[in-house]
Amino acid sequence: MQRLWNWLMALGVSMFCGIILIAIAVGAIIPKVINPIAGPFVCKNGTLQITQNTTSYRPGESDTWTTDTCVDSATGNQQDVSLQTTLAAGVIYGLIIFGISAIAIIWLNFWNKYIKKSSS
């Protein structure tokens, strides 16, 4: 039962890192990180367009926000899919992080159990 909780905790940490750290934080700085990952899942019948808008309301201060829009290739209708794009990319990046972590954990357990023991 303890192993199950360890794996679930690793999955939770991976999802947090994927959604918060990569999809939101890195996606805000480099929006093109999200497009190739989330585009096929969020915008199946069209293209995903990422637009950055910057406004300046006082000298020396500016505000930048990103809008993800799905443009239907048949009708040309546009729909804001910013939340769906961030969540889809975050889950995918989280699963990638979990996969890498799982391989590392399995390798470390193998190393500690068999290789380190045989060298002693």
pLDDT tens digits, one per residue of 3-40:
889 889 999 999 999 999 888 888 888 888 787 888 88
For residue 31 the two structure tokens come to 């929006």
pLDDT in tens, 52-65: 888 888 888 888 88
User: Residue 2: what are its φ and ψ, rounded to 5°?
Assistant: -65, -40
- Listed residue (93, 67, 89) closest to 80, CA to CA: 67
Q: Is the pLDDT of residue 117 over 90?
A: no
118 compared with 80, residue with greater pLDDT: 80
